[in-house]
Structure 1
């Protein structure tokens, strides 16, 4: 690549980076602004920072438990989706049986319907079994739409692993389940990490099911944000503070699995 093309590529990447980071930087700055700076007619980049928005929303308004609820819901649904979806994806990748592709397509169709179409049936179902207004209802609901993503993604990752590895493990005395747990899963760890990050983000950001299924107990952070819109106006500083805190677990979780994530997203892209 010539020097001029490198400069052009760097310029394009810099523009994309600025466009991507500017909204987040603005929210971060807003979380440290007072009401006068937030409502100023001209955008203010330099101001006297204040930390009042964070204790006002997380301590005075008791939003801190909502962060814990979001973590429990997201981690719980991610773990449950991986625990159920990974073995199912392995079966689809390794086993031939009648109606396999039809059943696989059925898994995918669970993501094709608009979420609002099954929100009311889910509410009636959880009301019948007495799980409404609990964290468990949201975890199960999020697992229902994350499961198809896990099966779809992990089937591709497992298919990239040669079948001879399974056969070699079973020749060494492993059962099919033992070969899957002890050999295949470690090899597919990058794919599991990439899938887990996507499941976590989707569960963390989900609003509709959480809003319908929980009213008081077990509310996640996304459901708490509308409470900052009052008859006297929107508390933008506190909304920004909640938004900043809401992004931190995703950033931390992504960095923790970054090594596996990069490899997982490019898994099978290069053969030879």
Structure 2
């Protein structure tokens, strides 16, 4: 799973990295301790009466399907299981046409042994940001009038798959990290997504996941936020070793 991650790049950096044409408002600042329901930067493509536009937008990290009556959910939606995303009512329409990339400089995972949880930091071997396969949705707040610009809330989730290699020793789930050659295909709003597309994305992510590195870090205090959170306390290991807006 992915319950905490870090994003150290600015909006300007991300726009250049992902060839973004439009940068939205209030893109979150870098953070070393991003938590569910906080705002995160996401990359998406939209088309409405014209050419496709690649955008960088701020989204609430926990997807709220358009049919939901309220913003909060009785179950966690910051992650979505890739193997069933196209069949789940909460994610099906997003798989079809609302897919996103969620940039991350790395993420935290916890290994549980009895009552002890040990945090690890997972990152690329070259220090470059990762691109999680994500889904997004626009949720309309029914309590606000139709002319209120804040009535629409952009929300997003990270797809996860079964962990392999060394990561499986920490946790049985891991984010789907897409290689660059898959970014265009995943984002293309003209491609009608289905479970086959999601499965292909997971398969494409396997070589990327195999090259990730991870090491133990100190426990994360609730409000702590800084680069010191990613300082290692153990040796590094390689995973492959052992009406609606658009």
Place the TM-score, normalised by the shorter chain, in its bin: under 0.3
Q: TM-score normalized by structure 1?
A: 0.23
**Which structure's residues are more often strand, by fraction?**
2
Q: Which has the higher contact order (CA 8 A, sep 6+)?
A: 1
**Which structure's residues are more often helix, by fraction?**
1
